[in-house]
A and B are shown apart, each in its own frame.
Chain A
């Protein structure tokens, strides 16, 4: 029991931190432009595919640095030449545009790389067990993922709250006109933040590709979960997104590892239903079965009872 708990905690941490890397960029972009970027997970997928192609020629480590740069540049171009244009038509148009972009990127990935799963491998350097606990190995690569994610969180936190650039960005989010009057190029700041946000998604893709497999559906798998996190954490709150990422990561990991379900609950209540009961599917439900749905259940509940999320500000 303890070993299941420890390992699902570790796995939940890895997933949660990975999700945070996506959620942090999405949160930054949301607080800046006031729109949720539906294509965010697509940039994550592009990161994985770029890194895969680069790793074939130049190895994993080059990919780790070059792929996020490429993704970030692409993201900045999208902001400059497309989003800014659509912005004039309002938030719905922006949301619909990012939705279309996500669709287009998925098709483009299938066009350039094919529909099959790519054999994107973690580097040999990290192919050893970091430690062995209860007879199970914890791979060094997962440790590496945790390190990178925590590093990015700390760096982001430091830059945003302690550096001059961070202060300008924060001011540009809340008071764009004042910042522009002080002589800063606000559109350029927006473009840069969009680029950095998508580059962060790219990093997540590079390091998640070998573990979560690199295939054209990888954006869809994570896309809506990241949305859930950003909403649960409170739109625009980086700290809230961090807590929500870990929460969702752990929740899913525990739900998958547990073997509890409705039968146990019914036993506890002393109830029993025959197998041909019309709601038999409900009475035999188990937690691992509903694990993928849990985040969405949480999303709907949060939106109904606390639409501002965990750390969101009260709406005016």
Chain B
């Protein structure tokens, strides 16, 4: 349960990341409220994925703090952050290619499983039950995202299904916050729309908040409660979709300034 009662799920304050001489993310502050769908947009190279990576523990912020449900998670290793309730997908699909769809989702559930090594070896009834539960739950999640070929090798799945599988896998850890890194990349209009519907369902039916990096403006504008815009590692605008859409600096960042 969260220590702070004001409905903020995730808070990043003054987060900066430098690699040697390069400043990838510069003093970005950012919150995700409970039950919200929030987007980060910006031109390529703006530092969005780097920011994500700091939220999920892949990178350690050079300065700044990240807290989740009131607890400080700055610089914690990825598996701890997943355990705390944040899950993610990747921009370049990182499925476990030689595992089936079900197995991929089962791995996603790692942090929630309790069976120890001895229990696994001896195949105790508790472990047996837990294993069965993982399979059932994996298949349920796969159905939820609309993936029918449960026992297909993930490498053999078509692109759209692979993206769906990544989401199902991330959902395996029962996250409170789902980070999606360009989930509609390579999808057609219909698939993007389905994904948008999926995010809404997640919010409504499962109480999962979503933080999205996205380039597809239609999806972003339709689904987001709130949008943050990054450019060259800095926050240049934020607000409701209508506000951001008409913000001058945002237009400039994307189209280049008209002298």
A and B: partners? no
> Could you list which residues of chain B lie within 8 angstroms of chain A, going by C-beta atoms?
none
